[in-house]
Amino acid sequence: METSTDFVYHLKAAAFLLLAAARTERALSRFISSIARIPAA
C-alpha cells in the first residue's frame, strides 16, 4: 500500500515528465522546421 508521500512523489514525477515531453516536442518541431527551411543538398 502506498503512503500519501509516495503518491505525491509519483504525481510530481508524472507532471515533470509531461512538462519535459511538451518542451521536447516543441524543441523538436522547431528543429525540424529549421531543417526544412534549408534546401537539401
Residue 2: predicted pLDDT: 65
Q: What is the DSSP letter of 38?
A: S
Residues 10 and 21: their CA atoms lie apart, in Å, by: 16
Question: What pTM does this model have?
Answer: 0.59
Residues 16 and 21: their CA atoms lie apart, in Å, by: 9
Residue 11: predicted pLDDT: 95
Residue 22: predicted pLDDT: 95
Residue 30: predicted pLDDT: 93
Residue 29: predicted pLDDT: 93
Q: What is Dmax (Cα atoms) for the chain?
A: 59
The per-residue pLDDT for range 1-41, each reduced to its tens digit, is 668 899 999 999 999 999 999 999 999 999 999 988 876 65
